[in-house]
Amino acid sequence: MITWEKSVARLAAGIFIALALALVALFLVIDFGDWLRIYTGKPPGDVAQLYWYRSHLALVQFAPAALVLTGGLTTTLIRRRGEWTALKALGASPWAVLRPVIIVSLAGALALFAFQELVVSRSGPQVDRIMVERFDRWGDFLSVYTPRRWFRAGPWLINVRGEANPAVAPGGSELGDVRLFELDADGRLSRWLEGRALISSGPNRWRLEDATELSLTGAEARPGVPKGTLELEVPLRPEVTRLAVGRPEWLPVSTLVDQVGVLGSLQLPTEAARFAIHQRGTSLLVTALAALITALLALASRNRPSIPLALISGGVLYGTLFVVQMICRSLALNGHLAPPLAAWMPSVLLVIGGAALLRRAWRLA
């Protein structure tokens, strides 16, 4: 039986790889045709580099669908060959087929997780930068990759126009080229400071280097008066310099975990980072469960083994899961559902909905 299960595992792995590559190739061809007008006249090397990185994103996007389809296709092929009938005559249980399918699904899901952590986290930003720098297509680049420039800390509004300078402030707790606006109790501007750098010097204490204070006369601000170095009480945490830029779905989990703490300490929204962390883990469970369901349903079906039917049933299941995941993501990002609950809900729904199907399919098998 071990030899048999190895054979099934090889079959499932081959189907998964073929499906994943086919889906990625189909997407890249369609995407290339859609963007062909902007590639005209551009260096072929730039286009090739763009699609090299874009293929990494497509693999992570479509490989889970390939895994779900693999479960149904593997068991359908086994039934068509008559191998399952022979195994049942020998007293084998459905696990003889399901176990290698589940192992391949979990191995594929873990490989995709590692691929996303190590490769996609670098390839994703490269795609955005190539589109901007070589094809002049900005999209949402500025909103995604521009560091946060405005902060509210107690009575202060802080505008950061420069970058952190770790050489001057070890740990990066410095904000370069800043403007500070102090508001009174009625929300009116009462003080305007500018400086070369704002450096953390302790809890809620910041040092403004090369400070200049602009004089306020009514609604006008007159040229500033040099103040040298000022010690200010600003309730802003030093972690402000550790804010990451980029799309949460492409950031490594270690970075996302760090960002949850940083954003929380700065009283900024954490929903996107928290959802991305949990969603990264639930994708493993969702893929394995969906592959198990499609495999068992195909194995226990009383209909004649049909590859088109296996593709349709797997596609419908994955499409439904995709829609549910998008709805949950929207609810989490808009604050209507806790991010952990939103991320795990598709898995819970799949377990509940699939339990009845599994019991029925097991009886028929």
Sheet holding 220-233, edge to edge: 150-153, 156-160, 174-183, 189-202, 205-217, 220-233
Each residue's pLDDT tens digit, 15-58: 999 999 999 999 999 999 999 999 988 999 999 999 999 999 99
- Angle, alpha carbons 37-42-45 (nearest 5°): 120
339 band by pLDDT with thresholds 50, 70 and 90: very high
Backbone angles phi, psi at 231, to 5 degrees: -100, 125
In sequence order, what E strands does 110-188 have?
Answer: 150-153, 156-160, 174-183
pLDDT of residue 302: 74
User: Which amino acid makes up residue 4?
Assistant: W
Contact 158, 178 (CB under 8 A): yes
Contact 197, 209 (CB under 8 A): yes
pLDDT of residue 171: 47
Taking the domains of the chain in order of start, what are their residue ranges? 2-139+270-364, 150-241
- Angle, alpha carbons 82-104-96 (nearest 5°): 40
Each residue's pLDDT tens digit, 116-164: 999 999 999 999 999 999 998 888 887 788 888 888 888 898 898 887 6
CA dihedral defined by 76, 80, 83, 89, rounded to 10 degrees? 100
User: Which amino acid makes up residue 195?
Assistant: G
Two tokens, residue 76: 């359908």
DSSP structure string for 34-96: HSHHHHTTS-HHHHHHHHHHHHHHHHHHHHHHHHHHHHHHHHHHHHHTTHHHHHHHTT--THH
pLDDT of residue 166: 47
Each residue's pLDDT tens digit, 202-258: 888 899 998 998 876 666 666 677 888 889 888 888 877 778 788 898 899 988 998
